[in-house]
Amino acid sequence: MPESFRVALDLRGVSHSEGGHRRLINLVRELDALPSPLEFDLISNPCHEIDSHSWSIRTHTISPRLRTRMMHHPGVGSLRKVLWGKTRIMHFLTGDIWYSPTSRTVVTIHDLAPLHFPEFSFASKAEEQKYHRHLKLIIEKADVIHAVSEHTLKDLKQHFPHGAAKFRLIHPAPDPFFMPEDWGLEDRALFRYNIGSPRGFLLSVGGFNGWKNPGFLLEAYHHYRKGQKDPRKLVIAGDPHKPYPGLPTLYEAVCRLNLQQDVILLGRVSDSFLRKVYCSASLFLYPSKLDGFGYSVLEAMACGCPVLCSNETALPETVGEAAQQLPVSDPQMWADAIPPLLTNRAARVELVEKGFQQAAGYDWKATAEQVLQIYLDLLK
């Protein structure tokens, strides 16, 4: 096979996100499985262990120690021999782009949240200006810009109409690891007991930055708790002490509402533990103000958990009719919506069945086939 038919996929932009890294590995795995005249180099930080034993010999993993921005530093050390001359396409999977004089470039953009919520995205004006310059560079230099949802595509066209010819819509998918646990009622009851909520619990997963709306989540739960004689506890997975611009930490927000006895903060958890949490939860809550896609919602559905989410940005597109959707304007409205979704068995069964169908409608193989076609078109 000619050396020129090489594609490098850069995953280092999600080094901070176990979930993001895990999901995008599915794309690489499916690309590797498809018949094509291409070889693949997966560039990933050393901190992420990658199970590549099932990959073919045409896919390789590269783990450079330093995340050098090629657009600022043309001399990229150990990466130079990989990226210059041999690589025909560079695919930046997380809204990044670096200088590469010999490659065509594809950039995946999940959302433009920092444009809409700068107060939650940047610690300084200089950081904000740098983001705007970087985004402008992506629009100017990329050959193809891959949007993960109709919402993101529309957002890109609205802010950068001159780049519309480069934009392509390809939906991703939930991680196929998330599915119903193979356990009995006693196993689930024991897991709930060990979590600290034997009667079941409300669950939220998916980040605590400003547009994910953690303050609204806690306010809604606070109203729900006040209106119930025996409320379910709220379980939240993720680092409760991680700071975000413009916000108190999640732990601080919980303490301000005096919810320490009712909110269970799991911290960061493994994928296998998270699947058990999804499968044990009574209801998944997701009041996000902005989502490029909504992975966590689909993963909850794939595990058989009914979902109450916002009707903002990409979520209506992603969940269809498989979740109850509400605006994020009134926490009391959310509080009032929770009890029926816990007690109305028929409504719960309907949401669970629709959720399974909705999650199954997204498939990483189909995503990979469309991404592969982009590569082949660029090589013509």
Together in a domain, 156 and 304: no
pLDDT in tens, 79-131: 665 666 678 999 999 877 766 677 899 999 999 999 999 999 998 999 999 99
- Answer yes or no: do 244 and 329 share one domain: yes
pLDDT tens track for 268-318: 999 999 999 999 999 999 999 999 999 999 999 999 999 999 999 999 999
**Domain shared by 211 and 148, yes or no:** no
Indicate whether 35 belongs to any domain.
Answer: yes
Task: For residue 155, give the CATH number of its domain.
Answer: 3.40.50.2000
3-state DSSP call for residue 275? helix
Do the domain assignments include residue 147? yes
**Within a domain: 11:** yes
**From 36-50, 55-69, 143-157, 184-198, the region with the lowest mean pLDDT:** 55-69
193 inside domain:
yes
Neighbouring C-beta atoms of residue 293, cutoff 10 Å: 25
Look at residues 252, 213, 219, 212 and name the one whose alpha carbon lies nearest to residue 234.
Answer: 219
Q: Give the domain range for residue 165.
A: 6-173+363-379
Distances 35 to 2, 41, 56, 171, 377 between C-alpha atoms, Å: 16, 16, 11, 21, 15
Sheet holding 6-10, edge to edge: 59-62, 39-43, 6-10, 87-92, 104-109, 144-147, 167-169
Total tally of structural domains belonging to the chain? 2
Answer yes or no: is 374 within a domain. Answer: yes
> CA Rg, the chain, in Å?
22
* One domain for residues 250 and 268: yes
Residue (of 86, 98, 108) closest to 24 by Cα position = 108
370 domain-assigned: yes
Q: Are 295 and 110 in contact (CB under 8 A)?
A: no
Same domain, 232 and 303: yes
Say whether both 97 and 197 belong to one domain: no
pLDDT of residue 22: 81
Let me know whether 44 and 69 are in one domain.
Answer: yes
Q: Both 329 and 244 in a single domain?
A: yes
In degrees, rounded to 5, the angle at the alpha carbon of residue 150 between the alpha carbons of residues 15 and 99 is 45
Show Cβ contacts of residue 258 under 8 Å, excluding neighbours closer than 6 positions: none
* Distance, first Cα to last Cα, the chain: 16
What number of helices (H) and strands (E) belong to the chain? Answer: 14, 13
Our CA angle for 316, 234, 283, nearest 5°, is 40
pLDDT per residue over 186-228, tens digit each?
Answer: 999 999 999 999 999 999 998 899 999 999 999 999 999 998 9
Please determine, for residue 16, whether its predicted confidence score (pLDDT) is greater than 50.
Answer: yes
Same domain, 253 and 355: yes
Both 138 and 208 in one domain: the answer is: no
Q: What is the pLDDT of residue 50?
A: 64
Q: 116 and 232 share a domain?
A: no
User: Sorting pLDDT into bands at 50, 70 and 90, what band is 163?
Assistant: very high
Q: Is residue 234 part of a domain?
A: yes
Helix (H, G, I), strand (E, B) or coil at 62: strand
Instruction: Clarify whether residues 111 and 192 are in a common domain.
Output: no
- Contact (CB, 8 A) for 32 and 58: yes
- Strand, helix or coil for residue 103: coil
State the alpha helices, DSSP H only, in 203-308.
214-226, 250-256, 271-280, 295-302
Rounded to two decimals, the pTM is 0.91
Domain-embedded: residue 1: no
Question: Which residues face 233 on adjacent strands?
Answer: 201
Predicted pLDDT of residue 56: 83
